[in-house]
Amino acid sequence: MEQAQTNDFLERESLGKLMGKYAVPCVISLLVAALYNIVDQIFIANASYLGSYGNAANTVVFPLTVVALAIAVMIGDGCCAFVSISLGAGNAEDAHRSIGNAVVLCILCSILVTAAYLIFMEPILTAFGGKVNEETYACAQEYFFWITLGIPFYMFGQAMNPIIRSDGSPKFAMFSTLIGAVANIILDPIFIFPLGMGMMGAAVATVIGQILTAVLSIWYLCHMKAVKLSRKSFGLWGSLMKRFLVLGITSFLSQISLVISMAAVQNMCTKYAALDPVFGQAEYSQIPLAVLGIVMKFFQIAISVAVGIAAGCIPIVGYNIGAGRKDRAKSLFSYLLITEAVVGLIATLIVELLPHQLIGIFGAANESAYYTDFAVRSFRIYLCMMILATVNKGTFIFLQALGRAVASTIVSLTREIIFGVALPIIFPIFFGLDGLLYSFPAADILTFVIALLFICQTYRSLGSSGPARAQGSITRKRGGISK
């Protein structure tokens, strides 16, 4: 019972204050995680001896890090939601055992992923467009090898981050990720420029940062607050793992479906760039792949904010659902949707108004005019519907927090696999390389139509009042609730 009382403020404090407490550190944590790869790409792009070849190689490797992330967040987010619901219901036994099982499972999975990447390196890189030309493939091989060695540390840190948040320590979760990112930012320019370590230097800087995050996560597990771990926490319980992995399957599918979508986009990019009168020339063939990687990285920044806001709400939603407070869960959903829409609007305005400035960060001054022209067009077309993308993300994560894994999975898979794969294949048939750019906003529009149905259904399931009434229906004070 002591553990349940530790987090009972999740039922008492104002929702706005709780969102700030949990979402802001989570957003920062995810932004920092996204910056690992983005920082590498910025320094690589501005190194004259790497340039767009190194950028294209970075784009090739990026989806493969997302595969590792998908497994990590399935374990971490699932455990986070399960722990929060368990604590809300006063079940401390399930809470500590699920965390111990998550730790062991993450270690085992990370070792398997690392081994698979090292054994099947060549076919994996080829599948994601690595052989667009010899220079790009050489850079991709070097970068991928060193990044793969850090996979166990990366997965452990990412899996433990939401678990730390579920224990009531979102700031520590943010701090552990931030330390790793700062180390990466400091080491990247040192390794790439004065030491001339190239792609290896960028990768090694990233891995060192990931090791620091993993070490801090291990320290926290030994000093948890609401949940106390013991030796018996780490015994594998198959039935328990099934229960929390089900809650994390949506996170896994959302990430792994993104990988499938990126594979389709990158292969179509390589195929139709070869048919383009400009990019069909050998010296420019890597530009579309490099540019799309940059555009997707900016999208990753915006979507990290959206996911962070929604993921930060998971412990709040889970606890209140466990405590029978559907009214608070409904109000939180309203706040979440509005916030996600604002984030998407701001991101859209940035890409539409400042595309030249954005691509300038990624070494445009060292490249041909074709590089800049294609980048500006890509930013403005590919990302024009981010306001819908952020709302879609917030919706399926909230559904996950409610324990509605099937509904959440439908929204996620529809976006990334049905629309995210089919449209990039179909549109270029009629519109060439530009068709690839138009496929992305089209997918977001179609997904929003489906998400809207689940949004309405969720409001009905949580109570009779709609979004407007839910937003202002309850006034809360610290230590109490008054209607």
482: part of which helix (H) or strand (E)? strand 480-482
Residue 57 backbone class (left: φ over 0; alpha: ψ -120 to 50; beta: rest): alpha
| 261 in Cβ contact with 416 (< 8 Å) | yes
Q: What is the pTM of this model?
A: 0.73
pLDDT at residue 1 greater than cutoff 60: no
- Residue 462 confidence (pLDDT): 84
Residue 325 region by backbone torsions, left for phi larger than 0, else alpha for psi between -120 and 50, else beta: beta
pLDDT band at 6 (very low <50, low <70, confident <90, very high): low
Measured distance CA(184)–CA(44) in Å, rounded: 13
Nearest CA to 43 out of 146, 193, 179 is that of 193
Selection from 2, 22, 7 nearest residue 309 by Cα: 22
Question: What tens digit of pLDDT does each residue of 92-122 get?
Answer: 676 777 788 888 889 999 999 999 999 999 9
Instruction: State in Å, rounded, how far the first CA of the chain is from the last one.
Output: 28
In the beta sheet, which residues pair with residue 476? 481
Question: What gap in Å lies between CA 298 and CA 308, rounded to an integer?
Answer: 15
The continuous run of DSSP H or E covering 73 comes out as: helix 51-88
Helices (H), ranges, 313-432 = 314-322, 326-353, 355-361, 369-382, 386-401, 405-413, 420-431
**pLDDT (average), residues 473-480:** 37
What pLDDT does residue 5 have?
43
Contact between 66 and 255 under an 8 Å Cβ cutoff? The reply is yes
Task: Give the model confidence (pLDDT) of 50-82 as tens digits.
Answer: 877 888 888 888 888 889 998 998 898 888 878
Q: For residue 224, which phi and psi values (nearest 5 degrees)?
A: -70, 155
Give the length of the chain: 483
Mean pLDDT (whole number) for 257-265: 82
Q: Which two tokens stand for residue 156?
A: 């452990």
Q: Between the CA atoms of 66, 72, 75 and 80, what dihedral angle is there, to the nearest 10 degrees?
A: -100
**Given pLDDT bands bounded at 50, 70 and 90, which one contains residue 470?**
very low
Tell me what pLDDT residue 94 has. Answer: 67
